[in-house]
Amino acid sequence: MAISGAPLCSSALVLLPCLFVIAMAALQSGVVVLADAADTVAADRPLSGRQRPLVSNRGKFALGFFQPENSEHWYLGTWYNQISKHTPVWVANRGSPISNPDTSQLTIATNGNMVLLDNSRTAIWSTNISNFTSNSTVGVILDSGNLVLADASNTSIILWQSFDHFGDTWLPGGKLGRNKLTGVSTRLVAWKARNDPVPGVFSLELDPNGTSQYLLQWNSTLQYWTSGNWTGRIFTGVPEMTPTGSYPNSLYTFDYVNGENESYFVYDLKDDSVLTRFVLGEMGQIQFLTWMNGANDWMLFWSQPKAQCDVYSLCGPFSVCTENAMASCSCLRGFGEQNVGEWLQGDHNSGCRRNVELQCSSNGSVVGRSTDRFHTMANVRLPSDAESVVAAGFDQCEEACLSNCSCTAYSYNGSCSLWYRDLINLQDVSVIGSQGSSAVLIRLAASELSGQKQKHTKKLITFSVLATGAVLLMMAVLVVILRRRMVKATTRVEGSLISFTYRDLKSVTKNFSEKLGGGAFGSVFEGSLPDATMVAVKKLEGFRQGEKQFRSEVSTIGNIQHVNLIRLLGFCSEKTRRLLVYEYMPNGSLDKHLFGSNQHVLSWNTRYKIALGIARGLDYLHEKCRDCIIHCDIKPENILLDGSFAPKVADFGLAKLMGRDFSRVLTTSRGTVGYIAPEWIAGTAVTAKADVFSYGMTLLEIVSGRRNVQEQGGAAVDGLLPLLAASTLGGGGGGRDELVSAVVDGRVGVNADMGEVERACRVACWCIQDDEKARPAMATVVQVLEGLVEIGVPPVPRSLQILADLANQSNNLQFFSDLPSK
Ligand SMILES: *[C@@H]1O[C@H](CO)[C@@H](O)[C@H](O)[C@H]1NC(C)=O
Ligand SMILES: *[C@@H]1O[C@H](CO)[C@@H](O)[C@H](O)[C@H]1NC(C)=O
Ligand SMILES: *[C@@H]1O[C@H](CO)[C@@H](O)[C@H](O)[C@H]1NC(C)=O
Ligand SMILES: *[C@@H]1O[C@H](CO)[C@@H](O)[C@H](O)[C@H]1NC(C)=O
Ligand SMILES: *[C@@H]1O[C@H](CO)[C@@H](O)[C@H](O)[C@H]1NC(C)=O
Ligand SMILES: *[C@@H]1O[C@H](CO)[C@@H](O)[C@H](O)[C@H]1NC(C)=O
Ligand SMILES: *[C@@H]1O[C@H](CO)[C@@H](O)[C@H](O)[C@H]1NC(C)=O
Ligand SMILES: *[C@@H]1O[C@H](CO)[C@@H](O)[C@H](O)[C@H]1NC(C)=O
Ligand SMILES: *[C@@H]1O[C@H](CO)[C@@H](O)[C@H](O)[C@H]1NC(C)=O
Ligand SMILES: *[C@@H]1O[C@H](CO)[C@@H](O)[C@H](O)[C@H]1NC(C)=O
Ligand SMILES: *[C@@H]1O[C@H](CO)[C@@H](O)[C@H](O)[C@H]1NC(C)=O
């Protein structure tokens, strides 16, 4: 991401040249830049790419030239000025990028219009008003994010405003609606791709037919979502927007106005300091986002359609959409990406095209008897635009499809459905499982299917030594193909990360032969790099996230380095394969040492160091690194030990990488239940304090060497050690010896430092408080464990009390009657 002008000033070293550039620009335009005019463009004060962006009166928005991430093109637009993530809200020249911002300029033309001139001084964008009522005009960027063309003598007289010409973003205060006199609508039009503001195929606007519903459309023609009509309080399709409800509504005011000359919807913020935006994303979903200062990122709290695969033609023709952590698109068998470059940018609209044409003549009729074959795809949700024909059975249905060249697929379930031309909106529901899942038969050239059969038998052939000449030839072809692939994806270094090919990793891990462990998100394999460095390779399973998103998340994770955090060394992202390569930890995961039948028992000293190390690692994750991360899955399995038993937290960043799938997998997977904070189970927002809870549970296990929660017969839990510790501590001055004998792992008990035991138990019990506000931050935990800060006696968490009651009923009273206190 580059912003013209601004980056120059970010470093003290270049500050002087930067000031010089600004001064020169000011001299060239013949004015001294006045502080109070830093938000204004005038005929005698144009804005060029050499200058710093203009900034609105109170600093909220900036106007200037910028370059989207991974793009060579420059655009004039507005963005949030005060946040760390460059977020454009409006772009003037969406379809006509600028190659050189230094020689382009935004100015006021002699006819009074605001114009964007490229280096040949031709207007590539203009406010384009013809009937002026004022002689002299200026452009002003307002604190609302609205860019206006106003009368120079009174800027309250607005002649043109960007709020009447939205891009993909609808800001608070803007009206999204229709002028009934002119019939002109303000609409949101998505970007074509994440880095390309060219108007894409998805748009949102008020129903042109005059009802009060908003429609999401594809290609301005096909409606795929509606808000429903306005009832006076809400839209019928958005029942969650109850006006008197809680968050987020308490933050907003909104209304639908159906006036004489215009009808529109408007929303505004009650608290001016909150940043919020409503965006039509390039994936066709409308999203409501709020900036979270703590996380330094936008948080999504509402979006529609809920399922990404419900967006019409998200994956384009002949492609299948899979609703996973993120929606992903893949070509049907027998098809390849129409435009690989666009696909890599996450723009799948062009879809896929046939590898081998069907057997049809140019005039569209079938030549003789068609030899085309059908490939069966099960577990799909079918596209809705089928035409049904009368057919007596499967064969007749197939025959009906074969007899027409435009027929591309059929489905038979007692009645025969045929699809003509492009097959759009096919969804793979094998993962999510859904009613209405069916099988569809895709028409392919005969050679595609016979080729497929050969592939299946390929392995056998490869293993047989006596290969025929034909097979040799085939293998030679394969080798060439593989070579090509290799050249395309040779090992590259991205930042500090190595980008591996799948083939590399196969050889690094000896074809994934040495399995180190398996988790909810995939298995981990031992490997050895050519330079003999040992690595652990994690094969992510069960999701197919977009390539770009994956890379950006991975590079964020790669930038996080701390002595108590596992270092990510590299990754592999090929087609649907996603692997992560980590440093190797010879002593494996903590759970094996705590609960395993390991001869080597961790000493108290080591345990305390491990507890402190984990706390330091988490503190770093939560507060000290640039992109802060909530781990979400702290448990002994995710703590790895190096050669000297120093702990390193593993799997951080996976929560974000796995997206929505993460919480689903976590809350349903075994072995995690004892560590999940109650607010997570309750479904409310999760903060870093959820990690503090999990840390507390883990810490108790480190102390005791036993699982807090025993999973018995799958469902019943009877985990009472935390309660034991809590009540022990709550007992007031009770004997420390009793505490130690009751709580500490019997194998190390006698050697434990009693002061450390008490500190560890107290802080652990504070960490597992029901009320997340009562839990300490990890920084405090570190200080307590270091003995720098004293911590009081914690109350017994209520959730544990409930567990205790359950335990009483199930005759575990015995265990509790031994408690030294009460
Ligand atoms: C300006 O408006 C005229 C019609 O009023 C239109 O033909 C022209 O394309 C517009 N120019 C720009 C740059 O929008
Ligand atoms: C300019 O003309 C347009 C129609 O061409 C009209 O909608 C608009 O109100 C006029 N503006 C002014 C300031 O007269
Ligand atoms: C425009 O300028 C002319 C002379 O320069 C002046 O007579 C006229 O009143 C001005 N009109 C407006 C709307 O300011
Ligand atoms: C500027 O225009 C606004 C609205 O047209 C008007 O209310 C205000 O009085 C004007 N201010 C001056 C200084 O003329
Ligand atoms: C709008 O009206 C046209 C013509 O009456 C109709 O074809 C179209 O489906 C309507 N659109 C919606 C969204 O109801
Ligand atoms: C998109 O809409 C235009 C007309 O608005 C139409 O000509 C074109 O065929 C549509 N594209 C597709 C792929 O349907
Ligand atoms: C909205 O109202 C119009 C008529 O007023 C109706 O045709 C349309 O079906 C309604 N939309 C929904 C989603 O109920
Ligand atoms: C609607 O437009 C007419 C004609 O332009 C105008 O007389 C009337 O005041 C407008 N109504 C409202 C509510 O603005
Ligand atoms: C299409 O072309 C074939 C020869 O390629 C011809 O036999 C057939 O009559 C043509 N059909 C039509 C409808 O033109
Ligand atoms: C194939 O089916 C389409 C759609 O039903 C129809 O329009 C077309 O005429 C058919 N073509 C032939 C050659 O039968
Ligand atoms: C068969 O499929 C059609 C179209 O998808 C559907 O309308 C119909 O209900 C299905 N019939 C049965 C028996 O499942």
Nearest to 636 by CA among 686, 708, 743: 708
Q: Considering only CA atoms, which residue is closest to atom 9 of ligand 6?
A: 219
3-state secondary structure (DSSP) of residue 205: strand
Provide mean pLDDT across the span 196-221: 94
Q: Is the pLDDT of residue 372 over 90?
A: no
CA distance 261 to 207: 16
For residues 615 and 778, the answer to whether their CB atoms sit within 8 Å is yes
Active-site residue 633, yes or no?
A: yes
Computed over every residue of the chain, the mean pLDDT equals 78
Nearest to 159 by CA among 171, 150, 167: 150
Q: Which of 39-43, 465-469, 725-729 has the lowest mean pLDDT?
A: 465-469
Ligand 5 atom closest to Cα of residue 226:
13
Site residues for ligand 7, CB cut-off 6 Å: 211, 213, 226, 228-229, 236
Q: Which of 572-586, 634-648, 741-755 has the lowest mean pLDDT?
A: 741-755
CA distance 145 to 279: 14
Q: Is the pLDDT of residue 680 over 50?
A: yes
Domains located in the chain, CATH noted: 1-30+166-306 (2.90.10.10), 36-147 (2.90.10.10), 310-452 (no CATH), 498-583 (3.30.200.20), 590-818 (1.10.510.10)
CA distance 784 to 786: 5
Kind of pairing between the strands at 534-539 and 568-574 = unpaired
pLDDT of residue 819: 32
Q: Is the CB of 209 under 6 A from ligand 5?
A: yes
CA distance 176 to 203: 12
Provide mean pLDDT across the span 314-321: 93
pLDDT, tens digit, for every residue of 471-492?
Answer: 444 445 444 444 443 333 334 4
CA distance 657 to 137: 49
Q: Considering only CA atoms, which residue is closest to atom 6 of ligand 1?
A: 128
For residues 543 and 321, the answer to whether their CB atoms sit within 8 Å is no
Q: Is the pLDDT of residue 19 over 50?
A: no
Amino acid letter at 519? Answer: G
Provide the strand spans (E) within 137-229.
Answer: 137-141, 147-151, 158-161, 169-170, 175-179, 188-193, 196-206, 214-218, 222-226
597's CB contacts (< 8 A; 6+ apart) are none
Pick the ligand that lies closest to the CA of residue 382. Answer: 11
Torsion angle in degrees (nearest 10) through CA of 694, 696, 702, 704: -120
pLDDT of residue 97: 94
637's CB contacts (< 8 A; 6+ apart) are 517, 519, 589, 590, 591, 671
> Which residue from 135, 138, 157, 159 has its CB within 8 A of the most atoms of ligand 3, so it is best to mutate?
135
Residue 213 CA to ligand 7 centre (angstroms): 7
Ligand 8 atom closest to Cα of residue 261:
1
Provide mean pLDDT across the span 153-175: 94
Residues in binding site for ATP:
539
Residue 536 CA to ligand 6 centre (angstroms): 50
Q: Is the CB of 219 under 6 A from ligand 6?
A: yes
Q: Considering only CA atoms, which residue is closest to atom 12 of ligand 7?
A: 228
Does the pTM surpass 0.85? The reply is no
Site residues for ligand 4, CB cut-off 6 Å: 154, 156-157
Ligand 1 atom closest to Cα of residue 130:
5
Number of neighbours of residue 113 by Cβ within 10 angstroms: 21
3-state secondary structure (DSSP) of residue 284: coil
Strand partners, 263: 178, 258
Helix (H) or strand (E) holding 452: helix 446-463
For residues 562 and 522, the answer to whether their CB atoms sit within 8 Å is no
> Which residue from 111, 113, 128, 131 has its CB within 8 A of the most atoms of ligand 2, so it is best to mutate?
131
Residue 201 CA to ligand 6 centre (angstroms): 10
Name the pLDDT band for 709 (thresholds 50, 70, 90): low
Name the pLDDT band for 29 (thresholds 50, 70, 90): very low
Backbone angles phi, psi at 500, to 5 degrees: -95, 155
Q: Considering only CA atoms, which residue is closest to atom 7 of ligand 6?
A: 219
For residues 527 and 516, the answer to whether their CB atoms sit within 8 Å is no
Residue 154 CA to ligand 4 centre (angstroms): 6
Q: Considering only CA atoms, which residue is closest to atom 9 of ligand 2?
A: 131
Site residues for ligand 8, CB cut-off 6 Å: 259-261
Q: Is the CB of 220 under 6 A from ligand 1?
A: no
For residues 604 and 637, the answer to whether their CB atoms sit within 8 Å is no
Active-site option among 347, 619, 633, 661: 633
Provide mean pLDDT across the span 455-463: 36
Pick the ligand that lies closest to the CA of residue 257. Answer: 8
Phi-psi region of 645 (alpha: psi -120 to 50; beta: other; left: phi over 0): left
pLDDT of residue 664: 47
Neighbour-count burial of 44, counting CB atoms closer than 10 A to its CB (0-12 exposed, 13-18 middle, 19+ buried)? exposed
Ligand 6 atom closest to Cα of residue 219:
1
Give the burial string for 553-573 (b: 16+ CB within 10 Å, else e).
Answer: bbebbbebebebbbebbbbbb
Cis bond leading into 586, ω under 30°? no
pLDDT, tens digit, for every residue of 771-782?
Answer: 888 899 999 999
Residues in binding site:
539
pLDDT, tens digit, for every residue of 482-533?
Answer: 444 333 333 444 456 788 888 888 888 988 888 887 766 778 999 988 777 7
Name the pLDDT band for 312 (thresholds 50, 70, 90): very high
**Degrees to nearest 5, angle at CA 663 with 660 and 665:** 100
For residues 78 and 53, the answer to whether their CB atoms sit within 8 Å is no
> Which residue from 419, 420, 421, 423 has its CB within 8 A of the most atoms of ligand 10, so it is best to mutate?
420
Q: Is the CB of 363 under 6 A from ligand 9?
A: yes
Higher pLDDT, 104 or 679: 104
Ligand 5 atom closest to Cα of residue 208:
1
Phi-psi region of 436 (alpha: psi -120 to 50; beta: other; left: phi over 0): left
Residue 72 CA to ligand 4 centre (angstroms): 43
Q: Which of 184-188, 298-302, 337-341 has the lowest mean pLDDT?
A: 298-302
Provide mean pLDDT across the span 83-108: 93
Site residues for ligand 3, CB cut-off 6 Å: 134-135
Q: Considering only CA atoms, which residue is closest to atom 11 of ligand 4?
A: 154
- Contacts of residues 39-43 at CB distance under 8 Å and 24 or more positions apart, as own/partner, are 39/63, 39/140, 39/141, 39/142, 40/138, 40/139, 40/140, 41/106, 41/107, 41/108, 41/114, 41/138, 41/139, 41/140, 42/108, 42/138, 42/139, 42/152, 43/107, 43/108, 43/109, 43/110, 43/136
Q: Which of 167-181, 255-269, 455-469, 628-642 has the lowest mean pLDDT?
A: 455-469
pLDDT, tens digit, for every residue of 567-615?
Answer: 898 888 887 788 999 999 988 899 888 887 766 788 999 999 999 999 9
Q: Is the CB of 220 under 6 A from ligand 6?
A: yes
pLDDT, tens digit, for every residue of 386-422?
Answer: 998 888 888 899 989 988 888 999 999 889 999 998 9
pLDDT of residue 42: 93
For residues 237 and 223, the answer to whether their CB atoms sit within 8 Å is no
Q: Considering only CA atoms, which residue is closest to atom 5 of ligand 7?
A: 211
Site residues for ligand 11, CB cut-off 6 Å: 382, 413-415, 417
Q: Is the pLDDT of residue 225 over 70?
A: yes
Q: Considering only CA atoms, which residue is closest to atom 4 of ligand 9?
A: 361
pLDDT of residue 480: 44
